[in-house]
Amino acid sequence: MWLTSSSVGRKLVMSVSGLFLILFLAFHMSMNLVAIISDEAYNGVCAFLGSNWYAVAGTAVLAAGVFVHFAFAIILTNQNRKARGVQGYEVSQSQPSVELASKNMGILGAVIFCCLLAHLSHFWAHMMLPELAGNEELLLNDGATTYAATDGAGLIKYQFKQPINVIIYIIWLVALWAHLTHGMWSAMQTLGANNKTWMSRWKMISNIFATVVCFGFMAVVIYGAIA
Per-residue pLDDT of the chain (227 residues; tens, 9 = 90+): 667 678 788 889 999 999 999 999 999 999 999 999 999 999 999 888 876 778 888 889 999 999 999 998 888 888 777 766 544 434 344 444 446 777 788 889 899 999 999 999 999 988 888 877 777 665 666 666 667 778 899 999 999 999 999 999 999 999 999 999 999 999 998 888 877 788 889 999 999 999 999 999 999 999 999 98
| Helix, strand, coil percent values for the chain (each to nearest 5) | 80, 0, 15
For the chain, domain boundaries? 2-226
Q: How far apart are CA 25 and CA 109, in angstroms?
A: 15
113 to each of 61, 71, 86, 172, 206, how far by Cα in Å?
A: 17, 11, 27, 9, 20
DSSP 171-225: HHHHHHHHHHHHHHHHHHHHTT--SHHHHHHHHHHHHHHHHHHHHHHHHHHHHHH
Handedness of CA 25, 173, 114, 51 (dihedral sign): negative
pLDDT of residue 90: 43
Q: Which helix (H) or strand (E) holds 52?
A: none
pLDDT of residue 88: 42
Q: Which fold has domain 2-226?
A: 3 helical TM bundles of succinate and fumarate reductases (1.20.1300)
Q: How far apart are CA 157 and CA 161, in angstroms?
A: 6
pLDDT of residue 105: 82
CB atoms within 10 A of CB 124: 12
Q: How far apart are CA 86 and CA 96, in angstroms?
A: 18
Strand, coil or helix: 133: coil
Number of H helices, E strands in the chain: 10, 2
Q: Could you report how far apart the first and last alpha carbons of the chain are, in Å? A: 52
pLDDT of residue 10: 85
Provide the whole-model pTM.
Answer: 0.85
Beta bridge partners of 146: 141
pLDDT of residue 89: 39
